[in-house]
């Protein structure tokens, strides 16, 4: 009897040990993992649920025409990239900077100790078989060395042919015998419309051959991206910029902005650092006007009027009791400028309007060569598009409540 008790006792102990092993393995743990709580042993006595086979998800069906449209758009973008990317280059520059501006100390006996060098990157695109490449002025400005990398990886040196800070455009050139050249097709920025597709090709953050896609968000933007002029104490404005939400980042500068046919409609030049999806490009028609002069002469001669001003506002209209509802008011006239010689007048009075002091009294320009002026930029755009240095333009102005005309002979912009 004692033997039987011992025998059955041993069987019970072995069974309990087996159950404890099964219970812990149900949660993927072995008995050695004593600190992790396991399921109740009673749960292990129930049959395990069968493992379900993976079910393939059935997507919501699309109409054939929708699928076809998606395929067409993909094919369009792929085709544009394959055609245009070989014409887009990565530009690497070495620029000399004044080390004193960085707070570096002078070391006696070492010449040019404050001369330091920094590296910059940008984009560009080939425009002809002679090796001319378009980029931004700010990409190659003060460059000591310019290197160009083509889409196939070929690296060559380039020389700066001409620069224009007032349009932020520059032309560099490579030896056409050093690499097979593929050039772009230039479009017409006057035909660009808000809402049309826009594609940016370039090298953001040095990532070569990057394509981003968006739309033309706005036209006719003006930004003070040009050079600072000591003659007038301000910056010349670049007008007619194309705004796009196609991603533009550092390194995109100088690359092409394309339409849906792969034609260049602008040169990417800036982006709004505090807002995503707000980038700007110099219109290609500005390129067509400026670049031939850069290739021929190394610079572009701008006709110059010599005024600064702003659009008319309701406060100005009421404060000056103006008989017109739109136009541009002359704020300042640069001394010894064409405008000064013609007798144009800037603001000379201050009035209080709704608790604010505003400057009034300047000539209000309502037309230039019989072309209506609705805002101040209209004057700048007209002069850049239709006038030349030495040409005389006729301004229609409102002065003292009366309309009159003023003849102005344009000069070349100062401060080159």
**Judgement on whether residues 284 and 307 belong to the same structural domain of the protein:** no
The torsion angle over the Cα atoms of residues 146, 147, 151 and 153, rounded to 10 degrees, is 180
**Judgement on whether residues 90 and 164 belong to the same structural domain of the protein:** yes
Domain boundary among 137, 157, 178: 178
What is the domain-level CATH number for residue 124? Answer: 2.40.10.10
Domains identified in the chain, total number: 4
**Judgement on whether residues 314 and 276 belong to the same structural domain of the protein:** no
Whether the pLDDT of residue 409 is over 70: the answer is: yes
Q: What is the pTM of this model?
A: 0.76
**Judgement on whether residues 207 and 293 belong to the same structural domain of the protein:** yes
The torsion angle over the Cα atoms of residues 34, 39, 41 and 47, rounded to 10 degrees, is -130
**Judgement on whether residues 224 and 159 belong to the same structural domain of the protein:** no
**Judgement on whether residues 230 and 265 belong to the same structural domain of the protein:** yes
Whether residue 56 lies inside any domain: the answer is no
Known catalytic residues?
A: 138, 168, 253
For the residues 269-281, what does the mean pLDDT come to?
Answer: 87
DSSP-assigned letters across all residues of 85-104: GGGEEEEEEEEEEEGGGGTP
Whether residue 62 lies inside any domain: the answer is no
Domain boundary among 178, 199, 229: 178
Whether residue 76 lies inside any domain: the answer is no
Whether residue 54 lies inside any domain: the answer is no
For residue 47, what pLDDT band results from cuts at 50, 70 and 90? low
Closest CA to 310 of 243, 237, 370: 237
Q: What is the pLDDT of residues 278-335, one digit of tens each?
A: 999 999 999 999 999 999 999 999 999 999 999 999 999 999 999 999 999 999 999 9
pLDDT value for 306: 93
**Which is more confident, 198 or 107?**
198
**Judgement on whether residues 154 and 243 belong to the same structural domain of the protein:** no
Which of 28-42, 49-63, 357-371 is least confident? Answer: 28-42
**Judgement on whether residues 324 and 293 belong to the same structural domain of the protein:** no
Three-class SS state of 43? helix
pLDDT value for 272: 86
Here the tokens at position 70 are 């998606």
Q: What is the pLDDT of residues 213-232, one digit of tens each?
A: 999 999 999 887 665 544 43
Q: Which domain holds residue 130?
A: 83-103+114-178
**Judgement on whether residues 288 and 195 belong to the same structural domain of the protein:** yes
Whether the pLDDT of residue 85 is over 70: the answer is: yes
Whether residue 71 lies inside any domain: the answer is no
**Judgement on whether residues 288 and 327 belong to the same structural domain of the protein:** no
Whether the pLDDT of residue 17 is over 50: the answer is: no
Whether residue 53 lies inside any domain: the answer is no
- Cβ atoms within 10 Å, residue 183: 17
Whether residue 74 lies inside any domain: the answer is no
**Judgement on whether residues 325 and 282 belong to the same structural domain of the protein:** no
Q: What is the mean pLDDT of the chain?
A: 83
**Judgement on whether residues 288 and 322 belong to the same structural domain of the protein:** no
For the residues 351-371, what does the mean pLDDT come to?
Answer: 91
Whether residue 25 lies inside any domain: the answer is yes
What is the domain-level CATH number for residue 369? Answer: 2.30.42.10
């Amino acid at each position: 009897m004692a033997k039987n008790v011992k025998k059955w006792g041993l069987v019970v102990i072995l069974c309990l040990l087996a159950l404890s092993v099964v219970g812990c393995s149900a949660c993927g743990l072995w008995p050695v993992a004593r600190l992790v709580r396991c399921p109740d042993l009673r749960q292990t006595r129930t049959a395990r649920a069968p493992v379900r086979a993976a079910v393939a998800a059935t997507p919501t069906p699309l109409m054939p025409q929708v699928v076809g449209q998606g395929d067409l758009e993909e094919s369009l973008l792929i085709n544009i990239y394959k055609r245009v990317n070989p014409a887009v280059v990565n530009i690497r520059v070495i620029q000399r900077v004044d080390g004193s501006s960085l707070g570096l100390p002078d070391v006696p006996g070492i010449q040019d100790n404050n001369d330091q060098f920094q590296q910059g990157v940008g984009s560009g695109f080939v425009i002809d078989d002679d090796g001319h490449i378009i980029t931004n002025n700010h990409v190659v400005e003060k460059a000591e060395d310019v290197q160009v990398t083509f889409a196939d990886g070929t690296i060559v040196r380039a020389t700066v042919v001409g620069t224009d800070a007032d349009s932020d455009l520059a032309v560099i050139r490579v030896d056409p015998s050093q690499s097979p050249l593929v050039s772009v097709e230039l479009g017409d920025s006057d035909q660009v419309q808000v809402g049309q597709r826009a594609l940016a090709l370039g090298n953001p953050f040095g990532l070569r051959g990057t394509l981003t896609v968006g739309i033309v968000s706005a036209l006719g933007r003006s930004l003070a991206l040009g050079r600072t002029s000591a003659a007038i104490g301000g910056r010349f404005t670049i007008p007619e910029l194309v705004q796009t939400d196609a991603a533009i980042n550092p390194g995109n500068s100088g690359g092409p902005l394309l339409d849906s046919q792969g034609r260049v409609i602008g040169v990417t030049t800036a982006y709004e650092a505090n807002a995503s999806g707000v980038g700007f490009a110099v219109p290609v028609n500005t390129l067509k006007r400026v670049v031939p002069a850069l290739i021929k002469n190394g610079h572009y001669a701008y006709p110059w009027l010599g005024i600064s001003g702003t659009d008319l506002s309701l406060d100005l209209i009421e404060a000056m009791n103006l008989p017109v509802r739109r136009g541009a008011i002359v704020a300042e006239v640069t001394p010894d400028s064409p405008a000064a010689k013609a007798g144009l007048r800037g603001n000379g009075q201050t009035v209080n309007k709704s608790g604010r002091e505003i400057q009034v009294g300047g000539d209000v320009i309502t037309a230039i060569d019989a072309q209506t002026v609705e805002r101040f930029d209209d004057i700048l755009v007209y002069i850049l598009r239709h006038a030349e240095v030495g040409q005389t333009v006729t301004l229609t102005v409102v002065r003292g409540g009366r309309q009159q005309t003023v003849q102005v002979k344009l000069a070349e912009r100062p401060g080159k």
